[in-house]
Structures are given as C-alpha cells and as structure tokens.
Amino acid sequence: MTVLERAPEVKVRVMAWGDVVVETADGEVSGGPHCLAILDAFSQPTTLAEALEVLGPRTGGAQDWIDLTAAVVRLHEAGVLRTEGDPERDSDDVLRATFDSPSPHASMLEDRVRTSAFLAALDELVRPDDVVVDIGTGTGVLAVAAARAGARHVYAIEATPLAHEAREVIRANGLDDRVTVVEGWSTRISLPERATVAVSEILGSDALEERVLPVLADARRRLLEPGARLIPSDVRIFGLPVSVPDDHLASLTFTHSNTARWSSWYGLELGPLADYSSRRRQRYTAVIDDVRSWTSPTEPVLLTELDLSGLETPQVDVTVTAVATGSGTVNGVVGYFEAQLSPGVVLSTNPALEPAPNSWGVPVWLLQEPVELRRGQELALRYVHQGGTAGSMRLSA
C-alpha cells in the first residue's frame, strides 16, 4: 500500500481565481481549490484511502471529487506528495543539492584528463546520423562535443537550473539547431525518438553513488534503441583493505586519542564520543593523493565488473575474498574504479597511479572494529549498492 506524505518544504501561491499553485524544483503544479486541504491531509504519512476519508466529505459532487483526486495525482506526480521514505526522491534531493552550483562543474571542467577522456570517447564512438542522449549534461560540454563528433541530434538532459547555462553554451557554439536541452530527471522525461548513443558522466567517487545503474537501466528501457552504445560501457569497481593512519583519522572521526586531547584542551569530558565508531558505520571521500601512502596487507580485489549495456538489475551485492600477502591492521577499505568509456579510452581512480589521475576522490569505508591480518589469511569484502546514493562495505575475516 502506498503511503504518501507532503514534501518537507512546500511553497504555495493562492491565485485570485481560487486555484492554489505549488512551486516545485521543476516548475509549478496546480493544486486546485482543495489544495491546502490536501496538503494538510498528507502532513503525516497517510494512505490514499485515509486521506479521501477526510477529504471526500469536502467535495460537492462527483465532478468536484474527480477534480480533487486529480489534484492529488498531479501533486504526487510532481513530487509534492511523495512516497514515504522513497529512496529515489531522497537521492534526487541529494544529487540536486550537490550539483546545483558551479563548483562541481568547474571542478570537472578543470579536470582536463576526465573531460578530455569523455571527448575522446565521443569522437571514437559517435557516427553521423547517431542520436545521442547526454544524461546529466551539466554545463552542456559533452552534448556540444557529441554534436561536433557528428551526431544528427543530441538530447541534453539536466535536472538542475544549470540547464539554462547549458542552453547558452550550446547556442554560443552554434549548435542549438542540433542540440535540445531537456529539463528534468532522465527517469521522468520522454524523448521524441530513441537514441543510439548514451553518454553519462554520472560516476561518483564511489562509482555508483550518483545512481548510474538505475538511471541507465531506465534509459535502456525507454530512451535508447536496442543495442545503443553507452559511454561509459563498463565499470570495474575495486576494493583495497587499508590501514588508515592515526593522524588522518584524528580529523575525520572520534578516536580515543583525539577525544582525550579535546577533553584536556577544553576542560570537558568528551570520552564517550570515542564509542561512536564502534556503533556507527562511517564512509567518507578521501583525496586520491592522501590515500597512496596508506599500507595494505592485501592486493586490491576486483569487487565487480558491470556491463552497463546489459545489466539486468540496478542492485549490486557481491562478496569477494582478499588474501593477505603480508601482515597488518585493516581499519578501512578504499574503493576505486576503472570506467571503460570506449574501446580505446579508460578512466581510472586507482590511487596507485601517480600523480592523481583526475579530480575524483575515493570512498573510504571505516570499519567498526579493526581487523588484524596475518599473511595467507582471508578477508571477505561485501559491497552492496541498492540503487540509492549510498553504498556499503563490510569486512569479515
């Protein structure tokens, strides 16, 4: 049973003619004359049947009831009434908040290796007459490159207001007749034709955290021709059990030594914070250069190789065994990926590469309890991604 609740912050305008308009991140939606009552009815998680029990008596007749329920449907479709704990909506909020500013886009453009690799892959794969869809076009750079590479038409999809800037960039390059910017989430829009190539720079530091798997699975179903070429086409994800040095941990989390130090500095008792790490899972993003010197008693292990053009399910749940080649303490796992953009272009975040190959970071999962490993001992790494923005990593010796 679907339980709906009102989005946490809703801005409404009451119009002179009796309608109530709700503003959403994607635009506006008309809530009709019963809108305020509907928003009130769904202020707590409520089923449709429960809400209509309250709202039904307000309606004057069958047509009024239809108008009211149609408003419920519109508000639901617009995300004003959302499924309780809907991971996709929650992920959308996280992603929109992350990418609705110049900073991540400037960082990606400043990353010459990354952007040049995508441009090279487009040059390699796009043929005349291709229809290209660029999912998450951002500043429009890959859409412009796809058109320049010869695409007959490019659909550039962008969910943040940066779509406006993308449009200007496309116009400045004289390509507005061949590139169409479509505002919204790719999973909720339709295109007038199916694309033969999909390019999507939606890889996070933990490769899957920007929802590349569910987004591409949806695109394959609805937006792409069968056999469409994908950029990237494959992603290989690796895990490296590591010993995160104490001085690095001290500014990241609560430890016995830093809580003792803070207690003495401030004349307070902060010792209880040190138990946090044993109770909670922690994951943060590290700079590649910082990670390189960390020691590891094992070799990196391939956690999974994902063929993005043939993936059956957007979930990943794999357990892989690492064998210790030396002895040491493991208190975290570093993840990194290799993305095959085209047969000739690979991007990697492997910290062993020096200097840091690009501006991505690497995810570090801290263990709740450190593990002592001896040479030859096995360590099982379980990597799980359910399709939202957060993946998890667990270790068992």
Binding site for another protein (CB under 8 A): 1-2, 47-49, 52, 56, 61-62, 65-66, 69-70, 72-74, 76-77
Instruction: Reduce the DSSP state of residue 318 to 3 states and report it.
Output: strand
Angstrom distance (rounded) from CA 275 to CA 247: 18
Instruction: Report how far Cα 279 is from the mean position of its chain's Cα atoms.
Output: 26
Query: Measured from the CB atom, is 72 or 125 closer to another protein?
Result: 72
Angle, helices 141-148 vs 163-172, to 10°: value is 30
Q: Least distance (Å) from another protein to the CB of residue 72? A: 7
Cβ atoms of 63 and 70 within 8 Å: the answer is: no
Give the helix/strand (H/E) hosting 391.
strand 391-396
Q: Least distance (Å) from another protein to the CB of residue 48? A: 5
- At residue 58, φ and ψ (nearest 5 deg) are -70, -20
Query: Measured from the CB atom, is 40 or 234 closer to another protein?
Result: 40
Tell me the sheet residues that pair with 380: 321, 396
What tokens appear for 218 in the block? 């949806």
Give the helix/strand (H/E) hosting 118.
helix 112-125
Q: Least distance (Å) from another protein to the CB of residue 7? A: 17
Q: Least distance (Å) from another protein to the CB of residue 73? A: 4
Q: Least distance (Å) from another protein to the CB of residue 2? A: 5
Query: Measured from the CB atom, is 66 or 172 closer to another protein?
Result: 66
Q: Least distance (Å) from another protein to the CB of residue 203? A: 31
Query: Measured from the CB atom, is 47 or 98 closer to another protein?
Result: 47
Instruction: Reduce the DSSP state of residue 188 to 3 states and report it.
Output: helix
Query: Measured from the CB atom, is 76 or 194 closer to another protein?
Result: 76
* Residue for token pair 């987004």: 215
Query: Measured from the CB atom, is 72 or 108 closer to another protein?
Result: 72
Give the helix/strand (H/E) hosting 109.
helix 102-110
Angstrom distance (rounded) from CA 337 to CA 205: 8
Query: Measured from the CB atom, is 16 or 62 closer to another protein?
Result: 62
Angstrom distance (rounded) from CA 369 to CA 148: 52
Q: Least distance (Å) from another protein to the CB of residue 83? A: 10
